[in-house]
Amino acid sequence: MFMPFYIDSYYIILVLPALLLALWAQMRVSGTYNKFSRVRTSRGFTGQEVARMILDQNGLYNVRVERIPGNLSDSYDPKANVVRLSEGVYGSATIAAAGIAAHECGHAVQHAAGYAPLKLRSAVIPATNIGSTLAIPLLLIGFLLNSYPLVLIGLIGYGMMALFQLITLPVEYNASSRAMAVISQNHILDEEEQKGARKVLSAAALTYVAALIASLAQLLRLFLLFGGRRRR
């Protein structure tokens, strides 16, 4: 019997190391964030002020900046036209807050500019959601019924999640690049503080790399378990 979290040799060899990498990446981003969330900036701009400054500079006066609960729960919602900043970012004048606020505004600027990878990521979200829901059931049913077409559809469905993670990488790295450029051009942070903000954003980007590796490892495992067991 082949379940999604069945502990087999493929899981140990492929998936477990990827999950450990993802765990390490998450610990790194938390540690880096905690370190630079305690360092106040010389100019004293809060995350909300940084966000508003960047949005207005790009003519995005209609994009709101809101405070939301949680830690590292910051996001940009293109449907609602709002940048949501967590409690530790919104009202804090720290290096971490400035970097994260600028990063989320980078997504708003991407959206306004019609940045192609962002549009592509939005386009594949429905297929990704369907694939994540149906992939494992289709793999199991296809294997039990000896239906390779169902197995193939299941693998493609799971592959959509890996594709989503792959498309996410340029979107996140570009948002960080835009953020650091604006921070530098507007002298929001001095040169030494910019190094700290860059470390925060680099640590966050690593979590997306780890998520992609984990998705690819699981996809390869599922292919070896199901796709490689086609019965004649």
Pick the catalytic residue from 49, 66, 87, 104: 104
Cα-only R_g, the chain: 21
Question: DSSP string of 35-55?
Answer: HHTTSB-SS---HHHHHHHHH
d(CA 138, CA 155): 9
**Distances 211 to 22, 145, 156 between C-alpha atoms, Å:** 6, 32, 18
Contact (Cβ atoms closer than 8 angstroms) between residue 174 and residue 117:
yes
**Distances 111 to 76, 108, 119, 126, 173 between C-alpha atoms, Å:** 10, 5, 8, 18, 15
**Distances 80 to 66, 72, 75, 76, 176 between C-alpha atoms, Å:** 11, 20, 11, 9, 22
Q: Which residues contact 68 (CB under 8 A, 6 or more apart)?
A: 74, 84, 85, 86, 87
Confirm whether 104 is a catalytic residue. Answer: yes
Q: Which phi and psi (to 5°) does residue 5 adopt? A: -120, 25
Contact (Cβ atoms closer than 8 angstroms) between residue 173 and residue 206:
no
Active site amino acids: 104
